[in-house]
């Protein structure tokens, strides 16, 4: 959470807004997210801005879900451009906080409904992570080494995750329903809860 880190995170939000202004939609993914299947069939067709969760509460429209800025799909339109401007300017009201924490603060703001932005949260059954793993290997698209501090811990557990995935792929089409992840392991000792207001990216 150094000044340099925060500047980089906020410059990223500004950069993504510039991409939207040029007419490009995008999927943003952190480097500590393993893509296992094509995520596009699992994206909502009726959302302007959809984002992964540390914890998913069952309703994709419920803004009490805990968003994770490491993975999102954003359509280029006037609403998302305005939203990213609002998100970027909101940093002034929450000094010393990064984009994900600020998003958690502003997600209920009337401004978002005012511009008509359709915001949805991605189900962790498809877009899982170490905070809330995707339990069904037949459904999972991505797995994020979130709620984990330390690059070595992330690399160790993502390597195990890939081994689990290879084991699952070899067992097809007769995969056992009981087959599940062996992770988190090293990350377990460094797990932090999303409400602690700090986050480490790879």
SS3 179: coil
Residue 190 pLDDT grade (very low, low, confident, very high; cuts 50, 70, 90): low
The reported pTM is 0.90
Q: Hey, which residues does 67 pair with through a beta bridge? A: 53
* Whole-angstrom distance, CA of residue 172 vs CA of residue 174: 5
The answer to whether the CB of 81 falls within 8 A of the CB of 24 is: no
Residue 198 scores a pLDDT above 50: no
pLDDT tens digits along 45-71: 999 999 999 999 999 999 999 999 999
First vs last C-alpha separation in the chain: 13
pLDDT tens digits along 127-172: 999 999 998 999 999 999 999 999 999 999 999 999 999 999 999 9
Q: Between 3-21 and 99-106, two packed helices, what is the crossing angle to 10 degrees?
A: 60
Give 139's contacts (C-beta < 8 A, 6+ positions apart): 125, 126
CA nearest to 142, candidates 159, 160, 122: 122
Residue 166 CB neighbours (<10 A): 10
Residue 35 scores a pLDDT above 90: yes
Q: Are strands 26-29 and 66-74 parallel, antiparallel or unpaired?
A: antiparallel
Q: Are strands 119-121 and 49-55 parallel, antiparallel or unpaired?
A: parallel
């Amino acid at each position: 959470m150094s000044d340099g880190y925060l500047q980089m995170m906020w410059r990223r939000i500004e950069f993504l807004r510039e991409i939207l202004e040029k007419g490009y939609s995008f999927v943003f993914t952190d480097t500590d997210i393993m893509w296992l299947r094509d995520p596009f069939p699992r994206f909502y067709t009726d959302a302007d801005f959809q984002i992964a969760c540390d914890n998913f509460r069952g309703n994709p429209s419920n803004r009490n879900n805990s968003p994770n800025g490491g993975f999102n799909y954003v359509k280029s339109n006037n609403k998302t451009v305005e939203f990213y401007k609002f998100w970027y300017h909101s940093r002034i009201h929450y000094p010393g906080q990064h984009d994900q924490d600020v998003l958690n603060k502003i997600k209920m703001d009337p401004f978002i409904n005012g511009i008509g932005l359709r915001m949805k949260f991605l189900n962790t059954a498809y877009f899982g992570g170490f905070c809330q793993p995707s339990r069904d290997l037949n459904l999972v698209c991505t797995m994020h080494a979130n709620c984990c501090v330390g690059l070595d811990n992330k690399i160790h557990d993502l390597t195990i995750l890939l081994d689990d995935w290879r084991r699952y792929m070899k067992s097809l089409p007769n995969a056992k329903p009981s087959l599940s992840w062996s992770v988190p392991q090293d990350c377990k000792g460094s797990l932090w809860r999303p409400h602690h207001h700090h986050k480490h990216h790879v």
